[in-house]
Amino acid sequence: KILILDFGSQYTQLIARRVRELNVYCEIHPFNKIPELDADIKGVILSGSPSSVRDADAPKPDLSNIKGHLPLLGVCYGAQLLAAEFGGEVEGAPSREYGRAMLTVKDQIDPLMLNVPSPTQVWMSHGDTITRLPENYHIIGSTENVQAAAYHIEGEKTWGIQFHPEVYHSTDGTQILSNFVLGICGCSGTWSPDSFIETTVAELKAKLGDDRVILGLSGGVDSSVAAMLLNKAIGQNLTCIFVNNGLLRKNEFDDVLDSYKHMGLNVIGVDASERFYNDLKGVTDPEQKRKIIGRDFVEVFNAEAKKIEGARWLAQGTIYPDVIESCSVKGPSATIKSHHNVGGLPKEMNLKIVEPLRLLFKDEVRRVGKAMNMDQRLLGRHPFPGPGLGIRIIGEVTAEKVRVLQEADAIFINGLRDAGLYDSVWQAGVMLLPVQSVGVMGDERTYESCVALRAVISTDGMTADWVHLPYEFLANVSNEIINKVRGVNRVVYDISSKPPATIEWE
């Protein structure tokens, strides 16, 4: 496997995903918590960073057990660190360099540059530049502004590159990473969804034996794939619980429950809608709503879980981005919204946690699901917030508002599917606004609600842009909603990006 040391760059996870795409397993660890360097680690990559090596408090780990001993590739900050710490010089560039640059390969037979055409487009994002390299550093690539854009340390398997090979705009970035990971480090590239399934199922069997396991299904990709893996390993010893909080999409509870049963899962559906509606009465504050929905979910889930005799384990669909220890070199980021809805477990049940997907990225979870022949429609689903439509009804939630929103949402989402747009949108939904406005239908004056359509593209939900959906399409959706959904006489389209807006309105 490959070890990636994180210095807090926004691109670190992308490096990991690119390495995984080469079917090589890798792990991200914070720069200040280097794990034990066992024989499994075939090479190390140093990530970029928002810091400057010139800062007094710049992250500078002790690399003496790595550099010169294992293949090492420094990317951006990583490359500057390897230069600055060993006798070179790094200075603030006269102008920060962001975006495309053309790299001229200076050494075509260098193993890192094999099969990389010259010149090739690379993506730069840095404020500092290496102005002088230590003596035994050999330049293998340059751009117009950056002499030392890529170098090799003679006598060592150590390289540094100023650009970001992991981003899409570095045309031959994948080739360079492949040269490092498969060529220089000698990784075998056999880590595939099938091999993951095989080893994970075997591990789960060994770990769980004849124990009973409980899992909460949400209808989303992660919990569903986790359930299928466990089902493969322990079959009917897995009991799944699927709670209807009354805030799911139209028909979702029945449809999803049905498809789970078809998949052979042992699943219990609990309809607790009334309880959620009751507890949400009169509540308008978004965080308060989240807390109530989260608390009710835990209580309903636990009451059901307690009925399952002899349960020893709780399975969760946690994935790798939730597990990677975040490395915040610039201080902790503020909590904008509280997202976590699954709270404490009943202590007296003494359940141990099992997380079969904790090493996978989202796209890998989908690939694993596909390899298990799971329904493409389920695997390709947009993300959906835990509090569901509860945070898409601005203000107080009532059963009637949920009905109105479900209808409007179904028209929008089905419209996206029918128009072939669903898969090019990262997430879409409808918000029901606490606004009444005047309209005219036939000869009658109406005074009804307004809904806002939201469709965004994003890779992780952290930043997002609104999708430029075709006017024709928006016109059709708007017409259909106003004609068919009683209580709505106005439709607007949200054209805010995140930041400064967020994806959800609450």
Q: Annotated active-site positions, please? A: 76, 164, 166
Q: DSSP labels for 9-31?
A: -TTHHHHHHHHHHTT--EEEEET
Please give the Cα distance from 362 to 445 (Å, whole number): 48
83/150 Cα distance (integer angstroms): 11
Is residue 218 a contact point for ligand XMP (CB under 6 A)?
Answer: no
Q: Measured from the CB atom, is 152 or 366 closer to ligand XMP?
A: 366
CB of 329 within 8 A of CB of 7?
yes
290 interacts with ligand XMP by CB under 6 A: yes
Q: Whole-angstrom Cα distance, residue 13 to residue 364?
A: 13
Q: Which of 61, 134, 183, 383 binds ligand XMP (CB under 6 A)?
A: 383
Bridge partners of 129, per DSSP, are 91
Number of residues counted as binding ligand XMP (CB under 6 A): 15
Name which position in 339, 352, 377, 486 contacts ligand XMP (CB under 6 A).
Answer: 339
Judged by CB under 6 A, the chain residues 409 through 428 that form the site for ligand XMP are 427
183 binds ligand XMP (CB under 6 A): no
Nearest Cα residue to 477 out of 496, 495, 454, 457: 454
Contact 164, 173 (CB under 8 A): yes
Site for ligand XMP in 431-490 (CB under 6 A): 461
Identified binder of ligand XMP from the candidate list 320, 385, 467, 491, rule CB under 6 A: 385
Question: 174-192 burial by CB neighbour count: b if 16+ within 10 A, else e?
Answer: ebbbbbbbbebbebeeebe
Closest to ligand XMP by CB, 275 or 337? 337
CA distance 140 to 157: 14
Between 1 and 382, whose beta carbon lies closer to ligand XMP?
382
Question: What sign does the CA torsion over 60, 62, 67, 73 have?
Answer: negative
386 binds ligand XMP per the rule CB under 6 A: yes
Which of these ranges, 219-227, 268-276, 333-341, 431-439, lies near ligand XMP under the rule CB under 6 A? 333-341
Which range in 7-15, 130-138, 165-173, 384-392 contacts ligand XMP by CB under 6 A?
A: 384-392
Give the number of residues written for the chain: 506
- Backbone phi and psi for residue 386, each to the nearest 5 degrees, phi listed first: -55, -45
Least distance (Å) from ligand XMP to the CB of residue 334? 12
**Least Å from the CB of residue 340 to ligand XMP:** 7
Single out the residue of 366, 6, 24 nearest to residue 179, CA to CA.
24
Nearer to ligand XMP, 367 or 392 (CB): 392
Residues that bind ligand XMP (CB under 6 A): 290, 337, 339, 341, 383, 385-387, 391, 427, 461, 498, 502-504
